[in-house]
Structure 1
């Protein structure tokens, strides 16, 4: 079907805009791919690095998941077992709880420590007052379709601010520490941190580029059809 020059021009403009937008999305996914690969490499280096002192109050405002997540740190001090919170968890050992206990550090600040997995809320809590582990950002709000209920002492995520308020801990570090694995018989069972990053950016990029090619191909067919109609 022959179209008027104005209609053809409008269709080609729309195709051009769509093609440019799809290519832009593909390029953005490639950039995200490079960022994700660099993040995975950085986290791998952090996890296996020698532990450094846990960030103190002067560093708290600058801490972010991207710049500090999974950093290997250590802290020493006194556990407050009376303020332990049990957060529901599903691990390779089955369902149970993360035992979250605040530790008052020798440097004068409080930080929550995920001492590890326990099968029930009444499992004994043993361990040293010197902890090494991975820095993890807060998990505010709760889990999927389940909100934390501090009043009922029901926890589905490791929400630092909510736990600190419920246990009246006062100012606490804006991160918690996932404790390193201890002896095989230790309870809680620490060292179960799952480090996994989804990396589908290349697939997404190829999808956007393929769609852009389809739009360009459709535009080319439209032009050829118009020329044949003019012959």
Structure 2
């Protein structure tokens, strides 16, 4: 066996490791490009739907086929009566006065009953932790007919880190209209929520207008970074292999 043959075989394991790393890096770069396309579509939806005059919500007859990609972020207006006895505080964070210092508190999800008799869940806005109990904000629950303007939102997705809700204690961790409705045995419930706009509420709480409409899109630079690392890996391994294969060839190995 020649030294060059031995050196070539010694590249098998490093080569396999480099191929695995290269596949991972290319996969990450490709995923970022896919995320870029998704983010651009999301930004286009917001730009097309969230501004201008509000429209009506999708009629109840179409709720069974409602799709977020066709309706989310659309600006709407609805009139009805709040069912404050079923108010659901959903744990969450809101931007604080200083960047990077969010405020802990709750988003108040309250059923609204329009004249049709159906139910539409309204995210009325955010309250800090010490105002979770409505007793501490008695002016925050208007009675009688109200008109809400806001943005249509899909139910908040859950992930493996989302704690389990505890309906018995009225503790919620996802803005899920169907789960909240089921806990209170409410029927004919819309498959979406409406995030109320920033119109002031009595007593200043809750504070609406919490929907983020400015969406960062840095996925192209992330993709370029991953692809750049992949190219660097190719260059480093090529130099390593070239040096290994250019080793002494005059030595015969038994």
Q: State whether TM-score is above 0.5.
A: yes
Query: Aligned residues, how many?
Result: 231
Say if 2:234 is the partner of 1:216: yes
User: For the residues of structure 1 that align with 2:239 and 2:25, how far apart are their CA atoms?
Assistant: 19
1:76-125 deviation line (CA, Å, top 9, x unaligned): 22322332223334434754433322112234421111222343322231
Find out whether 1:158 has 2:172 as its counterpart.
no
- Secondary structure of residue in 2 paired with 1:111: strand
User: Once structures 1 and 2 are overlaid, which stretch shifts more, 60-69 or 147-156?
Assistant: 60-69
Looking at structure 2, the residues matched to 25 and 35 of structure 1 have their Cα atoms a distance apart, in angstroms, of: 15
1:219–1:11 Cα change, 3 Å: farther
SS of corresponding position for 1:103: strand
Deviation larger for 174-183 or 208-217: 208-217
Query: How far apart are residue 62 of structure 1 and its match?
Result: 3.8
What whole-Å deviation, never above 9, does each CA across 1:136-158 have from its counterpart, x for those lacking one?
A: 12236699563321011222332
Change (3 A) 1:20 1:157: closer
SS in 1 for 2:50: helix
**Cα separation, partners in 2 of 1:97 and 1:202, compared to 1, 3 Å:** same
Distance 1:218 1:95, change over 3 A: closer
- Structure 2 residue ranges without an equivalent (≥5): 97-102
Contact 1:143–1:156, Cα closer than 8 Å, also in 2: no
CA contact 1:126–1:187 (8 Å) conserved in 2:
no
Distance of 2:91 and 2:220 partners within structure 1: 34
Structure of greater Rg:
2
TM-score normalised by the chain length of structure 1: 0.78
Alignment CA distance shift 1:12-1:187 (3 Å) = closer
Structure 1 match to 2:9: 7
Q: Normalization by structure 2: what TM-score? A: 0.72
2:85 is aligned with 1:85: no
Paired position in structure 2 for 1:51: 54
CA pair 223-120 structure 1, distance change in 2 beyond 3 A: closer
Matches within 5 A, 1:104-115: 104-115=113-124
1:97, 1:121 within 8 Å by CA — same for their partners in 2? no
Note the 1:26-105 alignment, pairs <5 A. 26-92=29-95, 94-105=103-114
Higher strand share goes to which structure? Answer: 1
Q: CA deviation at 1:31?
A: 3.5
Aligned partner of 1:188 in structure 2 is 206
